[in-house]
Amino acid sequence: MEGVWIDLAKFGVSLVSILALAWLARWLDLGGDERIRSADQARFLANAAIEGFEPVDIALDKAGIGALLRDAQGRQMLLRRHGAAWVARLLDERTEARLDRGFLTIGTGEKTFGAVTLHLGEAAGVWAAGLRRLPTAGAKRA
């Protein structure tokens, strides 16, 4: 029984320690404020995310929190900020593509990845149309 109490005490101390470390990371303002500053940077990030993805068409979010990219094969990629890093998904089947003037909300079909709203300005409509032309998930499987 004593061993159980020792284990519980260790657990409690560890829990407090990890919360303190996470708080310290926030207090020290770690993580920074990563933004995509240029098409070249978006191109680099896209190629880093998927080897061989060479975009020929890029739409950057006005605030630099994400981008939509298309390569010569017509593949479309969503790139978005994830904390202090970047994540990407190939958009190869039709999911959410909601247009609200210059804003385009894009879903990936992944609940944990979530939907992303990008401010693309005038380009938003063209990209929305492109995303709506993608095959549906059912059609793709068939």
Return residues touching another protein (CB under 8 A): 7, 10-11, 14-15, 17-19, 21-22, 24-26, 28-32, 34, 48-49, 51-52, 80, 82-85, 87-89, 110, 112-114
Burial class (CB in 10 A: 0-12, 13-18, 19+), 14: exposed
Q: Which two tokens stand for residue 27?
A: 């207090």
d(CA 103, CA 106): 10
Nearer to another protein, 19 or 56 (CB): 19
Nearer to another protein, 25 or 63 (CB): 25
Least gap, CB of 125 to another protein (angstroms): 26
Least gap, CB of 110 to another protein (angstroms): 7
Sheet with strand 55-60: strands edge to edge? 55-60, 66-71, 76-82, 85-90
Least gap, CB of 118 to another protein (angstroms): 15
Nearer to another protein, 4 or 122 (CB): 4
**What values do phi and psi take at 30, rounded to 5?**
-80, 155
Nearer to another protein, 16 or 129 (CB): 16
Q: Which helix (H) or strand (E) holds 5?
A: helix 2-27
Least gap, CB of 18 to another protein (angstroms): 4
